[in-house]
Amino acid sequence: GAAFNALLKTLEEPPTHITFILATTESQKIPATILSRCQRFDFRRVPNAMLFEHLYQIAQKEGIQADDDALRMIARRG
């Protein structure tokens, strides 16, 4: 609609000091006129075990006592 048309105009004539980053899980809903002006990067989901380990290391470095089950629950939520 109108919002995408306004975005299209901005993408066609962007200010030189600005970089736009568009993030979505539903790229099929973005009009082709917008997608054709974008560079696409697809990312995979980070495994829960890796998220847990990273959260655990951060908690350790920050001196935060965090229950492992709580960190696992946070990791599952992504």
| Per-domain boundaries in the chain | 2-35, 48-77
In DSSP notation, 57-70 reads HHHHHHT----HHH
Could you tell me the pTM of the whole model?
Answer: 0.56
The answer to whether the beta carbons of residues 76 and 50 sit under 8 Å apart is no
pLDDT confidence of 55, banded at 50, 70, 90?
very high
Tell me the average pLDDT of the chain: 92
Q: Give the pLDDT mean for 60-72.
A: 97
At 72 the pLDDT is: 97
For residues 26 and 48, give the distance between their C-alpha atoms in angstroms, rounded to a whole number.
22
Say whether 55 sits in a helix, a strand or coil.
helix
